[in-house]
Amino acid sequence: MIVYVTATDTFGSRMLGKISKLVYVCRDSTECDRVWDMATRRHDLKYLSVRTTKPHYNSHKYDTSFRDSHGNKIKYL
pLDDT in tens, 2-34: 999 999 998 866 667 899 999 999 999 999 999
Neighbours of 48 (CB within 10 A): 16
- The domains of the chain are located at 3-67
* Neighbouring residues of 71: CB distance < 8 A, sequence distance ≥ 6: 24, 38
Provide mean pLDDT across the span 39-61: 95
pLDDT value at residue 13: 63
Q: What's the predicted TM-score (pTM) here?
A: 0.90
